[in-house]
């Protein structure tokens, strides 16, 4: 539920109605509560503006919040990989990209694919990207 489901709705992974309901009743309220909470915290603690997310979390729920934030980052990275595979597959089908070996990972669900060459390419680009950046702040800004 990271916002990329709208793109996947165009690829027939989710219905438009499910994306609308998820956004209206889950994503929007969570975002509003999170941002309003951070804004209220920052009104009282101006010095913590650089790390508002984790410093605004009460100490009793820090580790569960930290775990959920990391799981969300993992889901987002998987979503980026899946989106890349889908875009490459569509580009190949339209003749805009060279032919690659595309493996369909499920007979039951259409659209679940794996492209080994693209997977290795994403790994190499990610490693070069992370190794060339000198600080965590730059990685956060790039993300």
Site of tokens 């800004």: 141
pTM exceeds 0.75, yes or no = no
- Give the SS3 label for residue 99: coil
User: Residue 82: what pLDDT?
Assistant: 83
Residue 62 lies in a domain: no
User: Residue 12: what pLDDT?
Assistant: 62
User: Residue 2: what pLDDT?
Assistant: 53
User: Residue 60: what pLDDT?
Assistant: 92
Q: Are 89 and 102 in contact (CB under 8 A)?
A: yes
45-57 tens-digit pLDDT:
888 887 777 888 8
114-136 tens-digit pLDDT:
899 999 999 999 899 888 888 87
User: Residue 26: what pLDDT?
Assistant: 86
User: Residue 105: what pLDDT?
Assistant: 86
Residue 70 lies in a domain: no
The domain of 45 spans 1-56
Q: What span, in angstroms and rounded, lies between the C-alpha atoms of 28 and 3?
A: 10
Residue 86 lies in a domain: no
Q: What span, in angstroms and rounded, lies between the C-alpha atoms of 12 and 17?
A: 12
Q: Is 140 exposed, middle or buried (0-12, 13-18, 19+ CB in 10 A)?
A: exposed
The number of distinct structural domains making up the chain is: 1
Residue 33 lies in a domain: yes
Query: Which stretches in the chain have pLDDT values below 50?
Result: none
Residue 10 lies in a domain: yes
């Amino acid at each position: 539920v990271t916002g990329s489901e709208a793109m996947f709705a165009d690829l027939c992974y989710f219905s438009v109605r499910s994306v609308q309901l998820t956004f209206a009743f889950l994503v929007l309220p969570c975002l509003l509560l999170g941002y309003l909470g951070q804004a209220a915290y920052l009104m009282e603690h101006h010095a913590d503006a650089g790390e508002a997310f984790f410093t605004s979390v009460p100490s009793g729920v820090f580790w569960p919040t930290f775990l959920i934030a990391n799981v969300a980052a993992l889901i987002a990275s998987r979503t980026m990989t899946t989106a890349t595979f889908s875009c490459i597959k569509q580009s190949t089908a339209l003749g805009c990209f060279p032919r690659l070996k595309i493996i369909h990972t499920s007979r039951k669900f259409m659209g679940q694919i794996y492209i080994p060459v693209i997977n290795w390419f994403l790994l190499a680009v990610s490693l070069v990207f992370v190794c060339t950046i000198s600080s965590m702040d730059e990685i956060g800004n790039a993300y």
